[in-house]
């Protein structure tokens, strides 16, 4: 994983079957996950981790 000075976190994974997963978390706890499967199906999920964590408290 790479972490930039402003605490943006990026992780990219490419599986042997060509499934591609990229996970990005920005400093304000916004979380974005992009998935592309071998048959070129594309998913992108975005959610605010800060909101989720504050609901659990």
pLDDT in tens, 1-56: 566 677 777 888 888 888 888 888 887 778 888 888 888 888 888 877 767 677 65
Query: How does the average pLDDT of the chain come out, rounded?
Result: 79
- How many domains is the chain built from? 1
Whole-model pTM?
Answer: 0.52
Return d(Cα 24, Cα 45) in angstroms, integer.
10
Domain that holds residue 36: 2-56
Phi, psi torsion values for 28, nearest 5 degrees: -85, 20
| Predicted local confidence at residue 8, as pLDDT | 79
Return d(Cα 49, Cα 56) in angstroms, integer.
11
3-state helix, strand, coil in the chain (%, to 5): 15, 50, 35
| Predicted local confidence at residue 3, as pLDDT | 64
């Amino acid at each position: 994983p790479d972490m930039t000075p402003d605490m943006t976190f990026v992780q990219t994974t490419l599986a042997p079957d060509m499934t591609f997963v990229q996970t990005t978390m920005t400093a304000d706890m916004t979380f974005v996950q992009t998935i592309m499967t071998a048959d070129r199906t594309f998913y992108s999920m975005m959610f605010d981790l800060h909101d989720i964590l504050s609901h659990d408290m």
